Chain A
Amino acid sequence: MPDILADNTLSAPLPSHACSIPRRRAWRGIRLSLNPVYLAAAFLVVLVGAALFAPWIAPFDPLQGDVLSNLAPPSFDNSAGPPHLLGTDMLGRDVLSGIIFGARISLIVGISSVIGAGLIGSAIGILCGYFRGTLDEVLMRLVDIQLAFPFILLAIFIMYVLGQGLGNVVTVLVIATWPIYARIARAEAMRLREAEYVAAARALGAGHRRILLRHIAPNATPPLIVIATSAVPQMIIFEAALSFLGIGLPPSEISWGSLLAAGRDYLEQAWWIATFPGLAIMATILSVNVLGNRLKQRLDPRSRHL
């Protein structure tokens, strides 16, 4: 699907008969570098780099405000020290530095909650789908219960119980999203346990443990990876939403959501505080989605042969 995007980006302005060969080659170079997959990968590399080396890259301390320069608009003017490229907030804290440090939180939350929920949910789902029985019945009722209540409200509830904090945000997201993986893993395990090679393994005397680990788990993995990739952006958005509501991270931690929340009360005076963190979220999610779509094509044999 993203190939529609990829191939059409620059194909239109090219009347082939009018092009000399070197010019066509130049176009191809530009087309290649404007391929969304490469752009997305490049953006994510920059983002991960910025997150890893935040203390060295960020021009200012994201928590240390300078009240004299509060609500300063974005500027390139470096006559009075390093400029606030994306402006400052109401306490005079640099927005760009906040975004760079916020990238750490977003990436940590996005990746670790998906890994946690993915592993727990898949393990439960595979066991239930393979063994069926009472355990399976109980699981399906639990999944029903979680699906009957909006996931963000449940997350907010648990945040109030656990209190603010990075670890708690991840825990909440794991609790709120494991059923997604459990349902898919269960369906895959139910399908795979009827497969001929599983019957063959059983006939050769393989135990449950071996069948589950060597035959079912590896074959159930591709669809789970596709779901997990598309869940990373959602987790980033949910962390931002929790922090936006003021119940995600404590004020001593900077996240894109808390920056957005800070900008909300100053929309009239300082549009930049709320705008740039949102753009950062959007660019990150777009990149993950573009790469995720490509991954999906690679892992799904049906679309690979199309």
Chain B
Amino acid sequence: MIRFVARRVITSAIAVFGVVTIIFVLARLVGDPVALMMQPGMTQADIAALRHGLGVDEPIPQQYLHFVVGAVHGDFGISPWQSRPAFGLVMDRLPATLLLTVAALGFATVLALALGTMAAARPGSWIDRLGDAISMAGQAMPNFWLALMLVLLLSTTLRWLPPAGYGHIENLIMPTLSLSLFTMSRLTRLVQSELETALRQDYVRTARAKGLSEPVVLLRHALANVAIPLVTVLAVDFGLLMGGAVVTESVFAWPGVGRLLIQAIGQRDFPILQAGAFVIATIVVTTSLFADLAYAMLDPKIRHA
């Protein structure tokens, strides 16, 4: 177990390092930030000073070395546009991203468990078909289109909710709904099929033969089997939503990490891009590490191996 964890920690660290390196290189391929910052009337000396101030006058390998040494000490540089430490700027955006992600995944999980369990309990019933319809539609609908349709219905037509913004509970509803649909559709199908498999097992027959009531059989004995695949999907989607919710964020003017990064690409703000890549990759690999540890806790077969 310890060896397994140690190996996973090392490969995770390599992955974070790789992501940051790739983003470092890609950022420099996007273009020269100095070109965006030049103002009319600047002399050659001014430009050289600006270049020096940004640290982009050094050869790229040396810039990389400086960056790595700084990053190891927790210093990701200062955003030239916002004149503040880039790491702090990224961390300021993190609560908004986490709030939306947790809300969307939480909503998706609760609804998928309810719908999937009811569908598996009564195969062929209307609720079974509703579950099928939701999972088909959810996988076919681009979430930014759903977002626009929600705005059209709930804001422009019914005027129940503000079309965009951040800070109030009303602002959270539409982004949560539009982001949760895809995860919910996958989870509903997953819960349903895992439960249907579990309900065919011998121990379920035993539980029923003991005279346990159907809800107890379903919730206590069968549903436990859903835990591991559920954790897997949630861990993957959690990682994808860290910064991957950019399009939804842009529809609802949600101040998340993804939008900060998109803006930083346009401005060629290297420190924010590198700090953002580091934060996102660290969260993603940590999540998948915890998911692996969660399997060990959830599955006695793995725990004792």
Chain A contact residues, CB within 8 Å of chain B: 1, 4-5, 8, 141-142, 144-145, 147-153, 156-158, 160-161, 233, 237, 240-241, 244-245, 260, 263-264, 267-268, 271, 274-275, 277-278, 281-283, 285-286, 289-290
A245 contacts B246, C-beta separation under 8 Å: yes
> Number of A-B pairs whose CB atoms are under 8 Å?
143
B14 contacts A260, C-beta separation under 8 Å: no
Q: In whole angstroms, what is the CA distance A285 to B140 when docked? A: 5
Chain B interface size range: 35 or more
Q: Which of B129, B137, B145, B284 contacts A149 (CB 8 A)?
A: B284
A244 contacts B124, C-beta separation under 8 Å: no
- Chain A residue numbers with a CB within 8 Å of B243 are 149-150, 153
Q: Which of A157, A241, A274, A282 contacts B247 (CB 8 A)?
A: A241
A275 contacts B149, C-beta separation under 8 Å: yes
Q: Closest B-chain residue to A162, C-beta based?
A: B29
User: What is the predominant secondary structure among interface residues of chain A facing chain B?
Assistant: helix
Q: Tell me the minimal C-beta distance from A261 to chain B in angstroms.
A: 9
User: What is the predominant secondary structure among interface residues of chain B facing chain A?
Assistant: helix
- Chain B residue numbers with a CB within 8 Å of A148 are 12, 15-16, 18-19, 239, 281, 284-285
Bitwise, B102-136 to A at CB < 8 A (1) or not (0) is 00000000000000000000011000110010001
Q: Tell me the minimal C-beta distance from B153 to chain A in angstroms.
A: 10
Query: Which of B224-242 touch A at CB < 8 Å?
Result: 239-242
- Chain B residue numbers with a CB within 8 Å of A241 are 142, 144, 247
B142 contacts A278, C-beta separation under 8 Å: yes
Is B63 part of the binding interface, using a Cβ–Cβ cutoff of 8 Å? no
A-B contacts besides A141-B11, A141-B18, A233-B140, 17 pairs, CB < 8 Å:
A5-B132, A8-B124, A145-B14, A148-B16, A148-B19, A148-B239, A149-B19, A149-B284, A153-B244, A156-B262, A158-B26, A161-B26, A260-B145, A260-B148, A267-B151, A274-B152, A286-B140
Bitwise, B234-277 to A at CB < 8 A (1) or not (0) is 00000111111011001100000010011001100000000001
Is B60 part of the binding interface, using a Cβ–Cβ cutoff of 8 Å? no
- Chain A residue numbers with a CB within 8 Å of B156 are 267-268, 271
- Chain B residue numbers with a CB within 8 Å of A263 are 148
B142 contacts A141, C-beta separation under 8 Å: no
Q: In whole angstroms, what is the CA distance A157 to B258 when docked? A: 12
